[in-house]
Structure 1
Amino acid sequence: MRAVIAEDSVLLRAGLVQLLQASGIEVLADVGDADSLLALVADLRPDLVVTDVRMPPSHTDEGIRAALLIREQWPGVAVLLLSQYVEERYVAALLSNNTRGVGYLLKDRVADVDEFIEILHRVAGGGTALDPEVVAQLLVRQQSDPLERLTPREREVLSLMAEGRSNAGISEALVVGESAVAKHINNIFTKLDLTTAADGDHRRVLAVLRFLGVPA
């Protein structure tokens, strides 16, 4: 895997570079601002970009705007955003057009090295990864139909789906069998009125988008 890192904190950027390299990920370059990130992506076409949400000069939304531009111009480049705080509007913007190869994590998650590296590979492989804190806040906010049809367990399963977990990952997290997970997911599809004509992966994405309040 070939990666580019964009983070304005010199210490954190150096730590990310060392962490990725120690895990066998080739770091092509690391920069501290969004303009340099865009130039590098255009030139190097990495497999994955890891970028901060807030970067110079205004330290507001430069990173997310760069991520959205990367996903528009180079859809084959996966993007993992790191943020100090949960900012739901950025999640919606990030997922509005393409749910493949995208992630949004709080910076605290980097401390769990094994999980962080697994997430990098998942996102680079075309999967999704949302921070559990983001999912928890969205779960509290989304109380309208048809989500209120779901049982508490089904909402747990859907929240884990939104984090990007596979059926096996959900099974492990909830300490239940994979057949039970599959049953819950089928119930979710039915209650969210997701047609059986669509394939399983597509319905899974639609369910997560419905959960996040993102138009499909």
Structure 2
Amino acid sequence: MRVVIAEDLALLRDGLTRLLTAYGFDVVEAVDDGPSLRRALLEHRPDVAVVDVRLPPTFSDEGLRAAVDARVRVPGLPVVILSQHVERLYARELLADAQGGVGYLLKNRVSDVRQFLDAVRRVAAGGTALDAEVVAQLLAGRHAGGPLGRLTPREREVLGLMAEGRSNSAIAGGLFITEKAVSKHINNIFSKLDLPPSDDDHRRVRAVLAYLDGTGTPS
């Protein structure tokens, strides 16, 4: 699996490179600023990119902007964003196209190697890997109205875990319910959100992302 890394801190950039390489990833390039990231993403078109939000020269949102621009030119280009804090505006920027292949993780989660690697693989496959704190903040304040207001508290829990990229079995284990119950909740979610049943995993991903971003029913 081919990976581009963007991180301005040399120690962390080298650490990510060594970690991913040790687990069988092919790090095709590791860069330290926004312009280099733009070039690398379009030149290599990697299977997944691991990108720090804040990169030189502005140290504001250069990494995110480069990733969003690349996804415009290469729709669905898988990107895992790393951030020190939950920044809702940045998360919404990344989710806006509802394409899937999106991750937004807090940097302190990288210390859990298995969880981090699972997230990178999930995003590369077109899924989502959103930090639980990101999901909670994106869903905050949405109880009263809109499509999410139709959901029961349990269905909102299930939707949040779906957004994190959890499988039905993982959701069942986390909520201490059966997989059959999870399937029922998911069917209810799609029904209440006016989404027709589908076996298309990417349809499921687009739906979750669209509702996390509050954009309505995805096409």
* TM-score, normalised relative to structure 2: 0.91
CA RMSD of aligned residues (A): 1.8
Mapped to 2, the partners of 1:158 and 1:53 lie a distance apart of: 25
Mapped to 2, the partners of 1:169 and 1:208 lie a distance apart of: 19
Mapped to 2, the partners of 1:211 and 1:102 lie a distance apart of: 13
Secondary structure of the 1:13 match is helix
Change (3 A) 1:208 1:98: closer
Alignment partner of 1:154 is 2:155: yes
Letter in 2 for 1:194: L
Q: State the identity %.
A: 54
Mapped to 2, the partners of 1:27 and 1:161 lie a distance apart of: 29
Give the ranges of 4+ consecutive aligned residues of structure 1 lying more than 6 Å apart after TM superposition. none
Contact conserved, 2:75 with 2:99, CA < 8 A, in 1? Answer: no
Q: Alpha-carbon deviation of 1:95?
A: 1.7
Contact conserved, 2:98 with 2:207, CA < 8 A, in 1? Answer: no
Mapped to 1, the partners of 2:20 and 2:14 lie a distance apart of: 10
Contact conserved, 1:77 with 1:101, CA < 8 A, in 2? Answer: yes
Alignment partner of 1:189 is 2:190: yes
Secondary structure of the 2:140 match is helix
Instruction: Please list the CA deviations of residues 129-180 of structure 1 after superposition, one character each: whole Å capped at 9, or x if unmatched.
Output: 1110011112222222332222211111010011122212212222221111
Letter in 2 for 1:142: R
Contact conserved, 2:98 with 2:210, CA < 8 A, in 1? Answer: no
Q: Alpha-carbon deviation of 1:98?
A: 3.7
Q: Alpha-carbon deviation of 1:203?
A: 4.9
Aligned length: 215
Change (3 A) 1:35 1:153: same
Aligned ranges for residues 140-179 of structure 1 at < 5 Å?
140-143=140-143, 144-179=145-180
Q: Alpha-carbon deviation of 1:207?
A: 4.3
Contact conserved, 2:54 with 2:64, CA < 8 A, in 1? Answer: yes
Instruction: Please list the CA deviations of residues 58-115 of structure 1 after superposition, one character each: whole Å capped at 9, or x if unmatched.
Output: 1111111100111111235311110111111222221222422111111111011001
Runs of 5+ consecutive residues of structure 1 not aligned to the other structure: none
Contact conserved, 1:81 with 1:104, CA < 8 A, in 2? Answer: yes
Instruction: Please list the CA deviations of residues 181-200 of structure 1 after superposition, one character each: whole Å capped at 9, or x if unmatched.
Output: 0001111122222234x555
2:113 is matched with 113
Aligned ranges for residues 7-86 of structure 1 at < 5 Å?
7-75=7-75, 77-86=77-86
The more displaced of 136-145 and 153-162 is: 136-145
Mapped to 2, the partners of 1:126 and 1:211 lie a distance apart of: 17
